[in-house]
Structure 1
Amino acid sequence: MMERKTVAAIALTILCWASSPTGIRIGLTGYGPIHVALMRFVIASLFMCGYAAWSGIRMPLLRDVPQLAALGIFGVTLHHIALNFGQQGISAGAASLLAQSTPLFTAILSSIFCRENLGSGGWAGLLLGLAGIACVVLGDSSEFRFQPTALCVVLAAISWSIYFILQKPLLERYTPLELTCYAVWSGTALMFLFARGLVDSVLHAPLGSTLGLVYLGIFPSALAYLTWSYALARLPVGRTSSLLYLVPPTAMLIAWFVLGETPRPAAFVGGGIVLLGIGLVKASSPAPARPASESEGWGLKR
């Protein structure tokens, strides 16, 4: 039986990551998609710097810097900018469902570049998951029509899949939390290329939008990773990661309570199909050779 502190850490992690789509939607009322990502991760970077100074996170090896920069590009810069653009046109609940499709694209990329054998069950799960994604994309409106912005969220999921593939060899030398810090810092630094107009946006944005970004930076983008690491240190990774399936329904509840968004039945059904497909893919995947590689769920996307 899990101790109370572990239960509390897992619950806080799920709540933080599930609230992220709602926080993004609030931030978008006063900021553009790029500035939402930049403000969020400037705050997260400062938080992570404080934690790194307190915990003594190691400096990375010089030879790993290009790979660590790539983690920032795919895990922070591209992922979050695409996610924010996507949420301009779809509901927060649908965005959370599509973002959870990452394991499907990770499996596809692993089969192509890492030559991992999925088996018939894995491919069946992939096809089922992709059908669920199509259902969410088409069903997140009253007219059951194609939502172009939803493809941005799918792109965000793909970019996160690339992040996960890239971090696997690095986990032999770094802890997941160290890689998260490196990715946050490098990805934030890259986003400063798009910082033009940020000061003007801060001065003219509604206070609620700015507070929403402060919340995003502290809770889903920083604090949740500390509570997640606490839980991972005390429970098997597979058992803990399975609890992340609670994120999409919790995100829908938060969006309904805060934003008044009611999920469309087709999008809700499509989300269930996506999660079922992910379950089949994971059940058909070979057991990892090293425990360190079982770090899926160490996301910057939630």
Structure 2
Amino acid sequence: MNTPSRLKLTLVIAGVILCWAYSPIGVHLGLRSYSPGHVALLRFLIASLFMTGVALAMGIGRPRLGDVPWLLVLSFFGVFLHHSSLNYGQQFVTAAASSVLAQSAPLFSVLIAFFCLKERVSFWRWSCVLLGLLGVMVVIWGDQGVGDIDPRGLLILLAAVSWSLYFAIQKHYAHRYSPLTMACYMVWAGTLMLCVNLPGLPAAVAQAPWADNLAMLVLGIFPSALAYLAWGYVLKHVEVSRASVAMYLIPPVAMALAATLLGEHIALQVVLGGGIVLASVAAISLERRYTGC
């Protein structure tokens, strides 16, 4: 297998960051014309069609019969619950704050490892979790104000928990399938689950302005399909610990896009809280990198 140049890998990683940074922006644009459930379903209907074309062109393996229940569980946490919670929560917070809160998933991974998997958690990681949760509170305070916090906005934290559960399960099955195969089955199964939101969607599509439908098309193709394929390509050539560092750039890029495309005013507290959250997540990753666990 030929190793791609550093420039090519850098451009691919930059594309992934831009795609995933656009995700909260696209959701906010879609919510102008669609319900949260319709945004999730339409996004993944588009992604499913795109992934079907890619699968037909490149070919994918069939899942083992015994793995099907776990693939459905992966789809539930990685697509259905994550994106449903994210969309409902984003009705009550800005896109900038949403991008930070969604990146708090590694903090909840530590809690899941301790309470559910009964793993030992070092004092360092507990300190990082407490610091990260403090950063989350600062983000919420700066975004809505203490007196105006809408509890429904905290559904974004449920999305982060769901993403943590997805990764905890996914690491046990990733070695059995190629990134393309995993992405295809996860997207297809998750889309079927999201079909509970189908009533009223055709009429909503017909009534939505072309600009909002274009935003949904971009949301379905780039963050929901191409970015996952590109990320799988990156992970083939770069260590996970090194590649994941690039993910810390997603919230700052998302903030810039939110200010440019949505005209959002980014509060200083949101920036400060975002820095605290990302620093705590980075500290957890650094401990894993240097201790090998």
Which bracket does the TM-score occupy, shorter chain normalised?
over 0.9
Residue correspondence of structure 1 range 1-302 to structure 2 within 5 A: 3-141=6-144, 145-285=148-288, 286-288=291-293
- The offset of 1:282, in angstroms, is 2.0
| Aligned residue-pair number | 288
- Asked if structure 2 preserves the Cα contact closer than 8 Å seen for 1:83 and 1:152, the reply is yes
Per the alignment, do residues 276 and 145 of structure 1 end up closer, same or farther by CA in structure 2, a change over 3 Å counting?
A: farther
Aligned residue identity for 2:89: G
Helix, strand or coil for the counterpart of 1:30? coil
Displacement of 1:159 in angstroms is 0.7
Give the match's secondary structure for 1:188: helix
Structure 1: runs of 5+ lacking an equivalent: 289-302
CA RMSD of aligned residues (A): 1.6
Q: Report the Cα offset of residue 8 of structure 1.
A: 1.1
Give the Cα–Cα distance (whole angstroms) in 1 for the partners of residues 168 and 255 of structure 2: 29
Cα distance, 1:139 vs structure 2:
1.6
Return the TM-score normalized by structure 1: 0.91
Determine the C-alpha separation between the residues in 2 that align with 1:262 and 1:183.
36
d(CA) in 2 for partners of 1:170 and 1:96? Answer: 27
SS in 2 for 1:67: helix
Q: Which runs of 4+ in 1 moved over 3 A?
A: 142-145
The Cα of 1:167 is off from its aligned counterpart by 1.0
Identity, % of aligned pairs?
45
Matches of 1:71 and 1:131, distance apart in 2: 29
The verdict on how the C-alpha distance between 1:253 and 1:144 changes in structure 2, with shifts beyond 3 A counting, is: farther
- Output the CA distance in 1 between the equivalents of 2:286 and 2:15: 27
Structure 2's unaligned 5+ residue stretches are none
Q: For 2:39 and 2:191, how far apart are their aligned partners in 1?
A: 12
Which range is displaced more, 169-178 or 267-276?
169-178
Pairwise CA distance, 1:142: 5.5
CA distance in 2, matches of 1:177, 1:208: 30
Q: Give secondary structure in 1 for the equivalent of 2:172.
A: helix
Higher helix proportion, which one?
Answer: 2
